[in-house]
Amino acid sequence: MNLDELPAEDVVALLLDAERRVVPAAEQVRPQIAAAAELLAGRLRAGGRVAFAGAGTSGRIAAAEAAELPGTFGLDRGNVLASVAGDTDSAEDDRAAVRRDLETFALTDRDVLVAVAASGATPYTLDLAQSVPAAVIAVVTVANSPLAQLADVAIEVVVGAEVLRGSTRLTAGTAQKVALNALTTAAMARLGRVHGNLMIDVQPANAKLRDRAAGIVAAIAGCEADVAAAALAACGDSARAAVLHLVLDLEPAAARRRATEFPRLRDALNP
C-alpha cells in the first residue's frame, strides 16, 4: 500500500476498514476477558489493588483506563495504580523503570497487575510482570507471546498487521482499548458497582456529573429530578445512599451506613 500516493479519503478508508477487525477478534477471546474480569473482581472484593502498566501507546492506554475507574465506579484512588514506562522511545528498555515501579507499586499476592503490550514482548512490561507476586492479566494483540505465556489470564486480541506498518497506536491500540473497557466494566458490574445499566457509584465531581448522579437516583427511586438532587446533596453526594434515603425512607446518615454494608444496591434495597 503506497499510502503516500493516495488521496486522504482513500487512506482514511483503509484505516477505518482495518478497525473492523477489532470486535470480531475480541469476540474470539470473550471467555478470557470474562475470566480476567472475574479475577479482577475477586481480588478487589478481597481488599486487593489493581495496577495497570505498559510502555508507549500501550502504557498510555492502560493509564487512561486506570484513570477512569475511580470517577466512574467510585473505587478508592489508592487501590488503582498506573505506570507508563517513561516518555521516550528508549523507555521500554529501561530496567531502572522496572525497579522503580516495583518499589512504587509494592504489589502483593492479593493484587492484580494488568500488563498491556501490543507485542507481548516489551522488555519493561515483561520484566515487571515476571517480577511481581500479584496475579497478572496480559492484554496483547499477537498470539503466543512471552507476556501471555506467563500471565494468569491472557487476553490475546489478534488483529494482524497495521495499515501503517508497525504503528500499534492504530488497530492494536483500538483492540487494547476495547479489551480493557470490557474487562474493567464487567469486573465493576460483578463487584456491584453497577445497578442495572447505571453507574450507581459515579463521583459527582462537577456540575455535569452531579446532574448525571441525580438522574440515576431519579431513575431508580422513581422521583422527580429536583427531589433526587436534594436527596443526593443530603446524602453527601452518594447516589447509592440517596436511593436508599428515598426508597426506604431512611435518614441520610442511616442511608449512608446501609449503603456501605451491601456491595450491591439491590441487596441494600431489601429491608
Residues 48, 77 within the same domain:
yes
169 and 248 share a domain? no
Q: Which CATH number goes with the domain that contains 244?
A: 1.10.8.1080
What burial class does residue 28 get, using C-beta atoms within 10 Å of its C-beta: 0-12 exposed, 13-18 middle, 19+ buried? Answer: exposed
Please indicate, yes or no, if residue 198 is contained in any of the structural domains: no
Instruction: Decide if 200 is inside a domain.
Output: no
Which secondary structure element, helix H or strand E, spans residue 149, and what is its range? helix 146-150
Question: What is the residue whose three cell numbers read 450491591?
Answer: 264
100 Ramachandran zone, left/alpha/beta (phi>0; psi -120 to 50): alpha
Asked whether residue 104 is domain-assigned, the answer is yes
User: 166-213, pLDDT tens digit by residue?
Assistant: 999 999 999 999 999 999 999 999 999 999 999 999 999 999 999 999
β-partners of residue 156 are 140
| Residue numbers of the domain that contains 261 | 207-268
- Show which of 163, 191, 219 is a domain's final residue: 191
- Is the domain of 14 the same as that of 66? yes
Q: Pull the grid cell for residue 261.
A: 454494608
How far is residue 170's CA from residue 164's CA, in Å, rounded to a whole number? Answer: 8
pLDDT at 90 (0 to 100): 52
29-85 tens-digit pLDDT:
999 999 999 999 999 999 999 999 999 999 999 999 999 999 999 999 999 999 998
Q: Which of 68, 156, 251, 261 is catalytic?
A: 68
Per the annotation, the verdict on 261 as an active-site residue is no
251 in active site: no
Do 91 and 118 sit in the same domain of this protein?
A: yes
Note if the pTM is more than 0.85: yes
Judge contact between 179 and 139, C-beta under 8 A: yes
- Residue from 92, 103, 162, 251 carrying the catalytic annotation: 92
196, part of any domain? no
